[in-house]
Amino acid sequence: MNCRNSGTLCWKCCSSLEDRVVSISRAQGSVTFPANFMLVGAMNPCPCGYFGDPLKQCTCAPGIVSRYQKRISGPFLDRVDIFVEVPRIDYEKLADDRLGEKSEKVQARVTASRKRQQERFKGTKLNSNADMSAADVREYCKVEESAQSLLKAAMKQLNLSARAFHRILKLARTIADHEGADIIKAPHLAEAIQYRPRSLLM
């Protein structure tokens, strides 16, 4: 997905994330195919891999770290819903014998959430919260009045774009669906906001 000119992930390279099509251009012409997919990616924080590590010092100069992270463009980042920083795992957690939540329980919760979305979008062309346009977000993502100030503060402090704003609301709507809530509340928004990037990538 690297741009031939810049070597970075630019808006032209990642437009299929929203358009759900991919175009292949050759000398003889171009062909467009449907491409509705879920993108899952991972990257190191810097070339040596230790930027921000609490135990091992990063050996990269600040400028190198910045250039490395900025290889992924802002327009591409705007189109990603969830960012999760994965820190070093302590020995105690690796050696813990306690089991996590069973997959069956997680599946049941996700299935219930999907049913809520199907019921919400019955009679429309939408299948899930991810399919919503900006106009759909205004209609279906009602925010509790007391949570409006949190959303406003996040817009200013994180310098969010309109696209990021709508993605936060769609994600908050999904989090609310997981809890069976009809309206988006402050805890749902807070969780969705924390998934936005906060590193040099911003």
Say if residue 105 is in the same domain as residue 75.
no
What pLDDT does 2 receive? 47
What pLDDT does 48 receive? 96
Q: Where are the alpha helices (DSSP H) in the chain?
A: 16-19, 62-69, 74-78, 91-95, 103-120, 134-140, 148-157, 162-178, 186-193
Query: Who wins on pLDDT, 95 or 115?
Result: 115
For the stretch 59-89, pLDDT in tens is 999 999 999 988 888 888 888 899 999 988 8
The structural domain count of the chain equals: 2
Q: Which domain holds residue 71?
A: 16-80
Q: Does the residue 96 lie in any domain?
A: no
Say if residue 187 is in the same domain as residue 147.
yes
Instruction: For residue 22, give the nearest of 32, 10, 11 by alpha carbon.
Output: 32
What pLDDT does 101 receive? 87
What pLDDT does 180 receive? 92
Say if residue 52 is in the same domain as residue 119.
no
Read off the pLDDT of each residue in 28-32 and give the average, rounded to a whole number. Answer: 89
Q: Does the residue 116 lie in any domain?
A: yes
For the stretch 118-158, pLDDT in tens is 999 999 999 999 999 999 999 999 999 989 999 999 999 88
For the stretch 162-197, pLDDT in tens is 999 999 999 999 999 999 999 999 999 999 999 988
Q: What is the CA radius of gyration of the chain?
A: 20
Say if residue 118 is in the same domain as residue 76.
no
Q: Quick check: pTM over 0.85?
A: no
When pLDDT is cut at 50, 70 and 90, the band that residue 18 belongs to is confident
Q: Does the residue 119 lie in any domain?
A: yes
